[in-house]
Chain A
């Protein structure tokens, strides 16, 4: 079965600094998608960024970028120029054809002013 691991239960970053959240996963599939979801204290989960496994180029969305290492099964999220609004729970998630989403345990990110 596929599993997603986030080894950092909590992280903190100074405002305007850069932080990297880690995620590793286990799968025997060759074709799959990876996601980072953000859940602020207001509760709604929103998609931050996604990566298709067949694409070698790392996805970027404004201040958010990923480091996707397929062979190592690693998918880290880098947040640049951190803002107070980035404070949230971040969940790494995996899905593949015919599979439902598998979520990691989450990393709580605090942003210090």
Chain B
């Protein structure tokens, strides 16, 4: 199984809503990532979890709150978002962070629209 599964595929929310994005992998990877991607742009790193601990937060606004309940699951909780937060949110995993060998495995992404 070499898949990273993300749900939902599409999400529309108002600025006062609270919603969550979910990501799951069963490859035994110990590093998981959230990326934000705008149209025709490369992914921008948001958060990195390594062995279920938050290791990197790229100065992401607190309206985005990540959570890693276990080594297979990664959530991104969304609250009070702004229209400019509309984007494709990609989850990825790799064997470990800091190791030079690991490639990133990406999910299909969750397309978020904030009204």
Point out residues on A near B: beta carbons under 8 Å: 31-33, 35, 37, 42-47, 50, 89, 91, 93, 95-98, 100-101, 103-106, 108
A-B contact pairs, 28 of them (CB 8 A): A33-B101, A33-B103, A43-B88, A43-B108, A43-B111, A44-B106, A44-B109, A45-B92, A45-B106, A46-B106, A47-B103, A47-B104, A47-B105, A50-B103, A91-B42, A91-B43, A93-B104, A97-B98, A97-B99, A97-B100, A98-B98, A100-B45, A100-B97, A101-B45, A103-B42, A105-B42, A106-B40, A106-B41
How many whole Å from A93's CB to the nearest CB in chain B?
8
Contacts of A101 in B (CB 8 A): 45, 104
Point out residues on B near A: beta carbons under 8 Å: 40-43, 45, 48, 56, 88, 90, 92, 97-101, 103-109, 111
* Given A43-B109, A45-B90, A106-B40: A100 and B48 interface contact (C-beta under 8 Å): yes
| Contact of B48 with A104 in the complex, beta carbons under 8 Å | no
| Contact of B107 with A44 in the complex, beta carbons under 8 Å | yes
Q: Report Cα–Cα, A97/B102, bound state, in Å.
A: 10
| Contact of B109 with A95 in the complex, beta carbons under 8 Å | no
| Contact of B42 with A106 in the complex, beta carbons under 8 Å | yes
| Contact of A45 with B98 in the complex, beta carbons under 8 Å | no
Contacts of B100 in A (CB 8 A): 31-33, 95-97
